[in-house]
Amino acid sequence: LVQHPFTKAVGFTGSFEGGKALFDLANQRAVPIPVFAEMGSVNPVFILPQKLENDTATIAAMYAKSISQSVGQFCTNPGILVGIKSGALEEFKTFLGNEIKNTAPERMLHPGIAKNFQEKRKAALQKGAKVIATNDVGVNADESIPTLAQATAEQFLLNTVLHKEVFGPYSLLVECRDATQLLQVAEALEGQLTCTLMATEEEAKHNEALLDVLKEKCGRFVFNGVPTGVEVALSMHHGGPYPATTDSRFTAVGADGIKRFTRPVSFQGWSNELLPDELKNENPLQLWRTVNNVLTKNPIEFE
C-alpha cells in the first residue's frame, strides 16, 4: 500500500521499527509521500523535591493508576520517572511499589505485544535496572508483569537501552544526586510525545533551564498531571519530535489531525463562475472562511 502510486500519504501508530520501515519505503518511491508515523515514547515525568514532599502519597497513587491503566498499553504511558535522592523519594518508592505489587497481571492485547513487553523488560533489567516492585505470580505467556524498576542517573546516562520504551505496565525510576544531574538526564532524552513536570509554582519558576530542555523534547508538556489522558480537542497536540513521530508538526488527535491528509491549492485569476463552490463569492456551502484576515461565513461583496 505504501508503494502504490495512488497512495498519497500514510498514517501509522505502532513500534519505532514498523514506523521507520514505512517511512523509508515511502521515501524510496519515484514520487516520495509523507508518512505520519506515531512511534515509541517513554513520556518522562520529572518530579521536583518540594512537590514530592508535599504530596508524596497522592503522586504515588496517581502514577500507579497511570502506569497500569489498560495494562499499560498507552503510547502516553509514563515509562520513566525522574527524581532527586531524598527521604520523600524513598517514601514515594514505597507507596508506588506497594500499589504496583497489588496490581494483578492481565492479558495484553495479543501475544505479540506480551512477548515484546517481556523481552524489552528483560533487556532493561540486564542493563542495570533493578526491580523495586512487581507482581509476577502465576503470569501466563500472554499477560503483563506490572513492574516498577530503578536505576541511578549514572546507569541511565551510560545505557541507552534504559531510554527505550517498554510497552506495558512498566516504569523506571531514575534517581539523581542533585538538580544538575536531573538536567543531564533531561538533556539525554530523545523526542517524546509528552513530558511531565511535577513541581510547585516556585520550583517551576526557578528551573527555567529544565523547562527549556523539556519543552523542546515533546509535543505536549504536562504540569502536575499524568500524560495518559488524551482529550480530543482543538488544543490537543498528539505528536512530538523524532523518534516519537516522523513529523512533529502535526497532531494525530483532534480536528487538526485531518491536515495530515490535505494539500493546499491556490486559485488565481479565475472568474467566480469557474471557482470551486468552496471559494465562490456567495459562499453557497456556508463554510467558515478567512477573508481579508477575518473568519466569516458572509459572502464576499465588492463595492
The set of catalytic residues is 38, 75
Q: What are 71's three cell numbers?
A: 495494562
- By the 8 A CB rule, do 169 and 192 touch? no
103: left (phi over 0), alpha (psi -120 to 50) or beta: beta
- By the 8 A CB rule, do 38 and 12 touch? yes
Task: Write the CA distances from 235 to 229, 257, 294, integer angstroms.
Answer: 13, 11, 21
Phi, psi of 117 (to 5 degrees): -60, -50
Pairing of strands 218-223, 45-47: unpaired
Phi, psi of 175 (to 5 degrees): -100, 125
- Whole-angstrom Cα distance, residue 75 to residue 40? 7
